[in-house]
């Protein structure tokens, strides 16, 4: 602020005081008019704002003068806005590359501040995060590199700000269990903010990362002997005050912040890995990846579970399945095709087994002489997926397990393949009533999954030769017993995850099956027409 500005403020302040005094003098003789009162309030508000600005400018000036005398002023602060002015290669390290073996080495690390905590007047502790990886950082008063102003700056950095630190790797005496890097920490000597979080976060990353087991343990600790007759509202209130539970709607309304939790980061990496393993397995076996239409002219599978939408001057539908297109490609000479793409089902059911949109991993293949060739390939595919998830995504699996506890998934190098009659026999041996040709209910499937786990030590199995009566009319009958069919389901922990079958490829047999079950003959003729077109 220069001298002209100061003198100008003094004159304005003098004018305000004179106006105020005049209004006060006038009030002695007669009541102040509403207009005059309004003007007075306006002037007072104006003066208040000017005083606040002057105080802020004075504080900033004092801070600048204080920093000017700070020996560590070059070691901390806010970096200029990154407009791609330059490229500086400072040998920055990823957190997962840091370990106790690097003790004593200087490193540059760019990361987010998950938490910062001042500990007394000499230390500030950080948890720095890169995706799913975290490491502890420490700023301590040092006569050469870290001043009190440096420490104060460190403690003022808001959570989720992006920082650049220069530090020395230090081996820790005890494991730091709250971080993924547990055998070492960073002793920070330079600290710069690259992008500072401005607004208060809707929730903390710590709160969003806590598991249900954590809250259950806290409830037991806070009120170990509570009963319905003797509630303890004070203890419960104290618990909720200290440990906040982040609700699903809050997470979804602030999805960007929620995605930063290491659990969500791990989930997305597992999804990516599964798609990668699926794709690499099939490409290595001469499959061709295809991309089928998702906006189509008619419902792909019929029924009511289809989304209808306006398409210019007509109607269109979201694809319920890529089935028809896969079959077209196989009949068109591709032999083996697959797709990873969204599938849409207008299923108005509130269960985890009914989703309006999901990513389908579909494949279609021709076989030489027996449909079990397909089951053999699918067996190899799933074992490949499970093995790679277990070996290559172990850290991500453990991260998810920490927040959402679950038992390890069991599978075998060769997947058990039960026939439907064998499954019925296993159920009956354990007191479950099941008809020879009746379909399995959801609860019966769960029981069967539990029995298979106990007997075969696996959570994954195939069920072959379903009763013909519970399968679509175009499913090929089993030549050995016409009560059954050449169809199968795959199960994980007692829940069906996929199904398939050999399709009837003979027009006469297809018509015979349709007539037997009273299927619309026009629909069947359409399928026959497609068959002749594809095989001409």
Query: What residues contact 503, with CB distance under 8 A and at least 6 apart?
Result: 327, 474, 475, 476
> What was the pLDDT predicted at 327?
87
Are the CB atoms for 426 and 451 separated by under 8 Å?
yes
Q: What are the structure tokens assigned to 73, written together?
A: 């002023």
Are the CB atoms for 418 and 452 separated by under 8 Å?
yes
**Tens of pLDDT along the chain (536 residues)?**
454 454 554 455 555 556 555 555 544 444 457 778 888 888 888 888 888 888 877 766 666 555 567 888 899 999 999 888 888 766 789 999 999 999 999 999 999 999 999 998 899 999 999 988 999 999 999 888 999 999 999 999 999 999 999 999 999 999 999 899 999 999 999 999 999 998 788 999 989 998 878 877 766 655 555 444 444 444 443 444 466 889 999 999 999 999 999 999 999 999 999 999 999 999 999 999 999 999 998 887 666 689 999 999 999 999 998 988 998 899 899 999 999 999 999 988 777 777 899 999 999 999 999 999 999 999 999 999 999 999 999 999 999 999 999 999 999 999 999 999 999 999 999 999 999 999 999 999 999 999 999 999 999 999 999 999 999 888 999 998 999 999 999 999 999 999 999 989 888 898 888 888 887 767 666 666 655 554 54
Are the CB atoms for 192 and 153 separated by under 8 Å?
no
> What was the pLDDT predicted at 526?
64
Query: What SS3 state is found at 349?
Result: coil
> What was the pLDDT predicted at 169?
97
Are the CB atoms for 113 and 159 separated by under 8 Å?
yes
Query: Scanning the structure block, which residue is given the tokens 């299927």?
Result: 519
> What was the pLDDT predicted at 228?
44
> What was the pLDDT predicted at 22?
56
> What was the pLDDT predicted at 242?
60
d(Cα 440, Cα 454) in Å, to the nearest integer?
19
Q: Strands across the sheet with 288-289, in order?
A: 288-289, 336-344, 357-365
> What was the pLDDT predicted at 24?
54
Residue 50 phi/psi, 5-degree rounding, is -65, -40
CB count within 10 Å of CB 197 equals 16
> What was the pLDDT predicted at 436?
95
> What was the pLDDT predicted at 226?
46
Angle at 145 between CA 143 and CA 148, to 5 degrees: 70
d(Cα 281, Cα 378) in Å, to the nearest integer?
10
d(Cα 126, Cα 165) in Å, to the nearest integer?
11
Are the CB atoms for 484 and 462 separated by under 8 Å?
no
Question: What Å distances lie between residue 462 and 376, 444, 455, CA to CA?
Answer: 11, 15, 14
d(Cα 226, Cα 438) in Å, to the nearest integer?
49
Angle at 217 between CA 134 and CA 158, to 5 degrees: 35
């Amino acid at each position: 602020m220069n001298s002209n500005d100061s003198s100008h403020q003094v004159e304005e302040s003098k004018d305000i005081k004179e106006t105020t005094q005049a209004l006060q003098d006038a009030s002695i003789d007669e009541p102040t008019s509403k207009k005059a009162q309004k003007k007075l309030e306006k002037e007072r508000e104006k003066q208040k704002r000017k005083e606040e600005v002057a105080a802020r400018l004075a504080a900033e000036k004092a801070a600048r003068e204080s920093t000017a005398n700070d020996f560590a002023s070059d070691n901390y602060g806010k970096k200029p806005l990154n407009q791609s002015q330059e490229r500086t290669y400072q040998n920055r390290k990823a957190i997962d590359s840091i370990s106790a073996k690097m003790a004593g080495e200087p490193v540059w690390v760019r990361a987010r501040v998950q938490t910062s905590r001042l500990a007394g007047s000499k230390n500030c502790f950080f948890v720095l995060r890169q995706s799913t990886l975290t490491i502890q950082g420490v700023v301590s008063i040092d006569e050469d590199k870290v001043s009190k102003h440096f420490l104060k700056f460190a403690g003022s950095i808001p959570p989720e700000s992006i920082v650049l630190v220069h530090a020395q790797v230090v081996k820790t005496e005890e494991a730091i269990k709250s971080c993924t890097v547990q055998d070492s920490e960073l002793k920070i000597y330079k600290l710069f903010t690259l992008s500072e979080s401005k607004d208060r976060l809707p929730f903390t990353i710590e709160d969003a990362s806590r598991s249900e087991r954590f809250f259950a343990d806290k409830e037991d600790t806070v009120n170990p002997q509570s009963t319905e007759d003797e509630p303890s509202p004070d203890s419960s209130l104290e618990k909720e005050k200290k440990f906040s539970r982040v609700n699903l709607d809050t997470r979804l309304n602030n999805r960007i912040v929620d995605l930063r939790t290491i659990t969500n980061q791990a989930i997305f990496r597992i999804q990516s890995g599964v798609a990668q393993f699926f794709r690499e397995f099939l490409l290595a076996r001469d499959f061709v990846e295809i991309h089928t239409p998702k906006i189509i002219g008619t419902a792909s599978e019929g029924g009511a579970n289809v989304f209808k939408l306006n398409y210019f001057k007509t109607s269109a539908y979201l694809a319920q399945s890529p089935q028809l297109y896969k079959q077209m490609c196989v009949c068109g000479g591709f032999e083996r095709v697959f797709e990873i793409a969204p599938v849409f089902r207008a299923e108005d059911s509130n269960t985890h087994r009914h989703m309006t949109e999901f990513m389908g991993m579909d494949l279609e293949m021709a076989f030489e002489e027996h449909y079990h060739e397909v089951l053999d390939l699918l067996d190899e595919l799933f074992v490949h997926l499970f093995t790679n998830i277990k070996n290559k995504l172990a850290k991500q699996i453990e991260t998810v397990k920490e927040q959402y506890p679950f038992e390890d998934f069991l599978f075998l190098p060769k997947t058990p393949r039960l026939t439907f009659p064998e499954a019925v026999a296993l159920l009956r041996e354990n007191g479950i009533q099941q008809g020879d040709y009746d379909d399995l209910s959801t609860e019966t499937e769960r029981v069967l999954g539990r029995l298979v786990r106990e007997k075969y030590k696996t959570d994954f199995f195939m069920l072959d030769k379903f009763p013909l009566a519970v399968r679509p009319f175009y499913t090929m009958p089993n030549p050995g017993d016409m009560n059954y069919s050449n169809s199968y389901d795959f199960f994980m922990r007692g829940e069906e995850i996929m199904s398939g079958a050999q399709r009837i490829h003979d027009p006469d047999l297809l018509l015979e099956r349709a007539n037997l079950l009273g299927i619309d003959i026009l629909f069947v003729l359409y399928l026959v027409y497609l068959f002749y077109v594809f095989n001409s």
